[in-house]
Amino acid sequence: MLPSASKLSKDYPDHEDANLILRCYELRQEPVLRESRAAIIGTFQPRSLDELIDLTKPGMPLNAPFRQVHTYWEMVYNFVRNGVVHAEFFVESNNGEGLYLYAKVHPFLAGYRERMGPRSFMNAEWVATHTEIGKALFARYGARVRQALEAR
């Protein structure tokens, strides 16, 4: 069971929410993170749990990009889950890309958590199941991932 947002959750977004969203967007423009996002969000599509686990092994070409993208989105979605930023406003502000990564690993999530840690993708899962926009984006991205897997 995923924890719900803390009592800090906001009813309405404010200027601090906007400032945090802008800062997160600025971080996404950092060159190494941008390259990592292109590799992981753009081209990586695991076809099995083993392929996903192999990615995490030291020396694998996509290891560092995967870790960077995964931890970036878990960090910012932690702000959402814990009520630091207004949840719907944050996800609506072009911050759904992490849900696409979550959709890519979701078919293998149980096994991934068993082998890599039970809290893996916990914050992305919360956004995908506790926000209306997150639910809609996850459904759309999940369908896209299923189509890509079927096409192989």
CA distance 27 to 144: 26
pLDDT for 4 equals 54
Phi and psi, residue 130, nearest 5°: -120, 0
Confidence (pLDDT) at 50: 97
The parts of the chain modelled with pLDDT lower than 50 are 6-8
Instruction: Residue 93: count other Cβ atoms within 10 Å of its Cβ.
Output: 19
Which pLDDT score is estimated for 9?
64
User: Whole-model pTM?
Assistant: 0.91
CA distance 14 to 33: 27
